[in-house]
Amino acid sequence: MLFTTVLFLVITTSLFSAASIPTPNHGRSFQQCFYSCYSNNHTQVVIARNSPLYSPLLNSSIRNNRFLNSSSFDLWSKPEFIVTPTRESHIQATIICAKRSGFQVRTRSGGHDYEGLSYSSSTHQKFVLVVLSNFRSIEVDIENETAWVETGATLGQLYYRIAEKSRVYGFPAGSCPTVGTIFRKYGLAADRVMDARMVDANGEIMDRNSMGEDLFWAIRGGGGASFGVILAWKVELVPVPEIVTIFRFAVNNISLKALLNRTSTFDGFFKAKSDYAREPISGLGLEGLFKRVLEQESSMLILTPYGGRMGEIPDSETPFPHRRGYIYKIQYIVTWDTEEETSLHMRWIRELYEYMAPYVSKAPRAAYYNYRDLDLGRNGKNDDSYERARIWGLKYFNGNFDRLVRVKTAVDPSNFFWNEQSIPVLAPH
């Protein structure tokens, strides 16, 4: 949501607060509660399981067939309802009505979730899914070198809107070659966030000023879905040369508008894991790594170099801790075509990960949160304790994990925004 200042103020003041939502009877269903707040012209906002729209909508941004065409995934629980909000007040009502109906809330924006936790649950928790695909407004302010971006927008859409206004500004988002590689010069996307708007567990809309610096720190790299529903980010644009280099893709003659395409061209199964190297991997180690990768034709290694500006930013500046002293990040990926191959390829990548242990970071063995990996550990249905979450939390966040836990405990003490790798709350003394 990239508003001009005037439009931002008009829309903000026009939204009702959580307190103004009518109080429904506790015995009513989620749908009844939601529609007690709105007239009949909002009937397509909440999609029930028996709706013909349910499955196409749920599957629309699943990028991994492990969570689409898999009998094992059929055992995971799917959302009781899917909400497709078109206004912020729809999200407020969703949170309030879900709490009153005994449901939790999960949020899906672009669908980039390696373990499918933004739209499913391995613990059979009942939840409502908020799909933010309608929240993709982008307003670029070249004069002030900023942009407001709603969280349903993709990186490609953001890049396109910036390029519409100027060819000498960019944004350091993403680390894959197709989405951005300039964070060694400018830091991470989270390092360039200036403000945010979110709905908390009480249904209140907050910005940086009202949420406070602790929560603002936590949502910039600590997993916003643990703390609320992020509506939009205000980001700082960075100067870039008008012509950087020339890329050659397998598909030629693609226009700039290809960045607006929200659909993935990948149609298969995959599993990914991550590591960080703090010292060069020995020749012997690389020999064994390449031997294993070459034996598995459908595998891939992505090495992302660190250093530069990344080494100048303190580890505690945001929840993302892997900065000074890290040479590069490793992403291991294996893909396959049919469900019958799943166990074979899952075993292969886990054995590769075990092989790499002597050559990568230790105590903890670091991992990248955006390459979510349930092999590292997960919250349990009846055990989401700090001690259990710390097993995987230190790998993702290292020394910042404890601060994230304290923030989570303060802003969402009932752990309403829960998933298998959400930040836990501290037990009351």
332: domain CATH number is 3.40.462.20
| Token pair 């949501």 in the structure block, residue | 1
- Residue type for position 31: Q
**Nearest-5° Cα angle at 200, 374 to 107:** 40
Angle between the 342-355 and 283-295 helix axes, to the nearest 10 degrees? 180
List the Cα angle 230/236/240 in 5-degree steps: 135
* Domain end residue (candidates: 68, 101, 131): 131
Residue that has been written with the tokens 């980039």 in this structure: 112
pLDDT at 248: 53
CATH number, residue 56: 3.30.43.10
Q: How far is CA 30 from CA 33, 55, 97, in A?
A: 5, 19, 6
Asked if residue 43 belongs to a domain, the reply is yes
Site of tokens 């390459």: 371
pLDDT tens per residue, the chain (429 residues)?
333 332 232 333 333 344 444 444 433 589 999 988 775 566 689 999 999 999 999 998 888 888 887 777 777 899 999 999 999 999 999 999 999 999 999 999 988 889 999 999 988 889 999 999 999 999 999 999 999 999 999 888 999 999 999 999 999 987 665 556 788 999 999 999 999 999 999 999 999 999 999 999 999 999 999 999 999 999 999 999 988 665 555 555 667 676 666 565 567 899 999 999 999 999 999 999 999 999 998 999 999 999 999 999 999 999 999 999 999 999 999 999 999 999 999 999 999 999 999 999 999 999 999 999 999 999 987 777 899 999 999 999 999 999 999 999 999 999 999 999 999 999 886
Alpha-carbon torsion, ordered 219, 223, 225, 228, to 10 deg: -20
Domain final residue, candidates 306, 330, 359:
359
Reading the block at residue 81, the tokens are 């309802």
Residue 94 lies in a domain: yes
Q: Is 251 part of a structural domain of the chain?
A: no
Please tell me whether the peptide bond between 364 and the residue prior to it is cis, using omega within 30 degrees of 0. yes
CB 89 within 8 A of CB 35: no
**What is d(CA 126, CA 30) in angstroms, rounded to the nearest whole number?**
12
Alpha-carbon span 211 to 131, nearest angstrom: 23
Phi/psi at 351 (5° precision): -70, -35
Distance between CA atoms of residues 7 and 217, nearest Å: 26
Residue 79 placed within a domain: yes
- How many C-beta atoms lie closer than 10 Å to residue 279's C-beta? 10
What is the reported pLDDT for 110?
82
What are the backbone angles phi and psi of residue 82, rounded to the nearest 5°? -115, 125
Place of tokens 């959580």: 18
| 318: Cβ contacts below 8 Å, ≥ 6 apart | 188, 190, 191, 217, 220, 221, 222, 400
Q: Which residues contact 279 (CB under 8 A, 6 or more apart)?
A: 327
Question: Which residues lie below 8 Å from residue 275, measured CB to CB, with a gap of 6+?
Answer: 329, 330, 332, 353, 356, 360, 361, 365, 366, 367
Query: Distance between CA atoms of 401 and 394, rounded to whole angstroms?
Result: 6
**What pLDDT sits at residue 68?**
82
Distance CA 251, CA 310 (A): 33
Is 371 a known active-site residue?
yes
The verdict on residue 283 lying in a domain is yes
Burial 313-345 (b: 16+ CB within 10 A, else e): eebebbbbbbbeebebbbbbbbbbeeeeebeeb
Domain that holds residue 287: 270-359
Which distant-in-sequence residues (6+ apart) come within 8 Å of 403 by Cβ?
A: 214, 217, 218, 316, 319
The number of folded domains in the chain is 2
Residues 199-231: pLDDT tens digits?
Answer: 999 999 999 999 999 999 999 999 999 999 999
DSSP code for 211: H
Structural domain includes residue 284: yes
pLDDT at 1: 39
Q: What is the pTM of this model?
A: 0.88
β strands within 88-206, DSSP E: 104-108, 127-131, 138-141, 146-150, 169-170, 193-199, 205-206
Alpha-helix residue ranges (DSSP H) falling in 106-193: 155-165, 183-186
As a whole number of angstroms, the distance between CA 379 and CA 382 comes to 8
pLDDT score recorded for residue 123: 86
Confidence at residue 27, expressed as pLDDT on a 0 to 100 scale: 33
Q: What share of the chain is helix, strand, coil (3-state, %, to 5)?
A: 35, 15, 50
AA identity, residue 389: A
Could you say which of 276, 371, 386, 396 is catalytic?
371
Answer whether residue 109 is part of any domain: yes
Residue 259 lies in a domain: no
Where is the domain boundary, 114, 131, 148?
A: 131
